[in-house]
Amino acid sequence: MKILIDIPMEDYSKFLQRCDATRPEYEMLKTGIVTQDREKRRAVEILCDVEDAKMILDLASEIYPHAVPHVQESISLARRPQTAAAQ
């Protein structure tokens, strides 16, 4: 299953700055796409596998805890069961 991690631009930038460029998570973070919502808030979306999302979550816990809630929310949204109407 794929997960779309959504991190606000400010937290993404700080998280990426603290990440060692030799770590595999760094490459995953670099694949993110910058988005902007209707209120002009910018964010970065990273499409990855569940295992990769967990690696990013673990790294955020170690080096930039402000990103943890965003990654956790993205993982939990991906795991919510579909409603009967959506099936």
Contact 60, 71 (CB under 8 A): yes
Strand order in the sheet with 2-8: 2-8, 42-49, 33-36
> Residue 84 pLDDT more than 50?
no
- Tell me whether residue 87 is in a domain: no
pLDDT tens digits along 5-64: 999 999 999 999 999 999 999 999 999 999 998 999 999 999 999 999 999 999 999 999
What global pTM score does this model have? 0.85
Contact 45, 35 (CB under 8 A): yes
pLDDT tens digits along 62-77: 999 999 999 999 999 8
- Residue 63 CB partners (closer than 8 Å, separation 6+): 15, 18, 19
- Tell me whether residue 36 is in a domain: yes
- Tell me whether residue 11 is in a domain: yes
Whats the size of the chain, residue-wise? 87
Contact 63, 77 (CB under 8 A): no
- Tell me whether residue 85 is in a domain: no
Domain range for 40: 2-79
The total of structural domains in the chain comes to: 1
